[in-house]
Amino acid sequence: MTVKRVLFKEEVLSVKSIANEVFVLSFARDFEFRSGQVISLDLVADGQPRLYSIASGEKDNEIEILFDEKPDGRLTPLLSVLKPGDTIFVSEPFGTFQCDKQEAMWIAAGTGVAPFVSMLRSGLGQNKTLIHGARWDENFYFSQKIENMLHDKYIRCCSQQEDTAYFRGRLTEWLDSQTKLSIDIQYYLCGSAEMVVQVRDILIKKGIPFQNIISETYF
């Protein structure tokens, strides 16, 4: 992926805390994008921007970014304390992590759910199953929206919360236990490098052709 470094000035509309150290930042949409794409973002025009998936629908008035704060990170501790009216710099959208209307399985860890939320909000939810892995129940971001659209095709795997109402364990354990994964559909993976590699290994072991596995790695 070629990172876009030309950044344009935008005004923050809001930064909302939605879980411990997890935030949604929004600004007005003044460009077109395809769901699944990312933007570069920074507080200065000529720094070292970080990449973020767009979580909004393609026709929404606002661009939303879902991010978790890395306490020792360079950018996210600064993003989480932004106020309405503050300035950020963002690139034009880019990236090829895009999905069509065909049946597919979406597999996300943590904030890696963002591009799938964008796809859902852009009308691509039909024939899709979303597997979302998270540590705690509060980390199933946008879950109400997702549940309303995907119903029983929304599988939550919660690794840390003992009294979770969902599958108790990592999403890799859930995938490992499946005996009927279709080999004819596309699998879209989004999350950390470790998660992407582990999930890819499981899918290949289960007979999914390599070319049916499309991934977006957050590094």
Binding-site ranges for ligand FAD (CB under 6 A):
38, 50-53, 66-68, 70, 72-76, 111, 114, 216, 218-219
Q: Where are the alpha helices (DSSP H) in 42-81?
A: 76-79
Q: How far is CA 44 from the centre of its chain?
A: 24
Judged by beta carbon, residue 185 or residue 214, the one nearer ligand FAD is 214
Tokens of 94: 């880019």
The least distance separating ligand FAD from the CB of residue 146, rounded to whole angstroms, comes to 16
At position 217, the amino acid (one-letter code) is: T
The least distance separating ligand FAD from the CB of residue 34, rounded to whole angstroms, comes to 14
The least distance separating ligand FAD from the CB of residue 47, rounded to whole angstroms, comes to 10
Judged by beta carbon, residue 19 or residue 181, the one nearer ligand FAD is 19
Residues contacting residue 132 through CB under 8 Å, at least 6 positions apart: 108, 109, 113, 140, 146, 154, 155, 156, 157, 171
Residue with the CB atom nearest ligand FAD in the bound state: 73
The least distance separating ligand FAD from the CB of residue 89, rounded to whole angstroms, comes to 14
Judged by beta carbon, residue 174 or residue 218, the one nearer ligand FAD is 218
Q: Where are the alpha helices (DSSP H) in 37-163?
A: 76-79, 114-121, 143-150
Compute the distance between CA of residue 200 and CA of residue 33 in angstroms, rounded to an integer: 27
Judged by beta carbon, residue 53 or residue 207, the one nearer ligand FAD is 53
